[in-house]
Amino acid sequence: MYIDTPVSFMFLLCILSSGNSQTLSDMKQLYSDILANHQKSLIPNSDFSSPLEITLQFHLMTITQFREVEETLQIAAGISAIWTDGEFSWTPSSYGNAEYVIVPQTTVWTPKLVLLNSVGTLQPLGLGNELSVTINYNGSTTVSFGEVLSSKCSTNIYKFPFDSQTCELQFAPGVFMRGTYVC
């Protein structure tokens, strides 16, 4: 009876660790190869006559404040932006079966998103945070961050206390130019 538990545990560890065969050398070569010619100031769009498609995933964590009279909403949320960068693709078997890498946001192009109906100033979301970007072997690229957002929210309290409110958060890509945000 005592022998079964340690043997089962060791067997499970062997199964879990057998799938990853990357070495430090594999990962260094992968980083070197995918970042060698990358220009982080260029939007990673293979066809500039059409827009780059960016998918946003929004995860509401909590509503921290709702003020009906001031018509404001404050929430804590997690946001992920996902796009495809054709420069970032590789064959996993060439790099020890590495299917993804994680790099600092400062290394690659990432979309700058703003909350258009913000109560405060229009600033890029995630500004001032050290974010990481996950790059998958097929070019799918993701940056995620948490944010406390304060937005305008038109309210109708005519049926109070039986009213219900719908608040929209309006996100847009933007370009920071000389102290202003242009969308």
Predicted confidence band of residue 45 (pLDDT cuts 50, 70, 90): confident
Residue 8 in domain: no
What are 63's strand-pairing partners?
75
- Computed over every residue of the chain, the mean pLDDT equals 80
Global confidence as pTM: 0.75
Count of domains forming the chain: 1
Residue 16 in domain: no
Q: How far is CA 110 from the centre of its chain?
A: 9
Q: How high is the pLDDT of residue 124?
A: 78
Q: Which domain holds residue 79?
A: 21-182
Residue 37 in domain: yes
CA separation, residue 8 to residues 1, 4, 20, 63, 91 (Å)? 11, 6, 20, 45, 34
Residue 174 in domain: yes
CA angle 28, 144, 167 (to 5 degrees): 170
How does pLDDT run across 51-107, given as a tens digit for each residue? 888 898 999 999 999 888 888 989 999 999 999 998 899 999 999 999 999 999 889
Helix (H, G, I), strand (E, B) or coil at 123: coil
Q: Please, what is the end-to-end C-alpha distance for the chain in angstroms? A: 67
Q: H or E element: which one contains 13?
A: helix 4-17
CATH of the domain at 147: 2.70.170.10
CA separation, residue 112 to residues 37, 173, 183 (Å)? 22, 6, 10
Residue 5 in domain: no
Query: What are the strands, taking DSSP E only, across the chain?
Result: 55-67, 72-84, 100-104, 113-115, 132-136, 140-152, 171-173, 175-177, 180-182
Residue 1 in domain: no
Residue 14 in domain: no
How does pLDDT run across 145-179, given as a tens digit for each residue? 888 989 998 887 777 777 788 888 888 886 544 44
How far, in Å, CA of 138 to CA of 86, rounded? 8
Residue 62 in domain: yes
